[in-house]
Amino acid sequence: RGGADNITALVISMSRHHQRINASMPTKALRKFSFLEGCTLDELRAFWNLVEVRSFAAGDTIFSEGEAADDFYLLAEGMVELHRADRCLAVIYAGEPFGGMALTAENQRTTTAIAIDECKALALRQHRFFQLIREQSPLANHMLLRMFANAVQIVQKQNIKIADIPH
């Protein structure tokens, strides 16, 4: 029987796993990362379920040169400097990936990452990425292609810098 005073309630039950996920990063926001450009909605959801949101204060060391490399990062907020031997090599801005060598066979970090200001980053553990590869996931293929493209850009930039040095 329908009446103007009827109240309809909707109860949503969530598993413990989903309760710990920060809902402030929906798939629309993930689409803004160039690294995830071209991913389907299902791939974005899969990515979100694989990552952890990590916060860093200004001056925090995210990882250090020489330590075990086991996390890849997408910077959601803030800026990060990458250093090698106390020399700043690059500044990473919100929306950019860093620490990608962790998703390869590389065992140790080749740089130190330091938060310039308050940062939030999406961290993907190496073993989760390898699981995607074993499952022949389209997301893993997409990420591998993006990582390769990023590596090519870095090499091209370094070649330009080397070419600018007077001989």
pLDDT tens for each residue of 1-51: 445 544 443 333 333 333 333 444 577 788 888 888 888 888 888 889 889
Residue 151 has pLDDT above 50, yes or no: yes
Q: How far apart are CA 98 and CA 62, in angstroms?
A: 11
**Distance set, CA 137 to CA 13, 44, 85, 130 (Å):** 28, 12, 37, 10
pTM summary value:
0.72
Dihedral of the alpha carbons of 63, 65, 71, 72, in degrees to the nearest 10 = 100
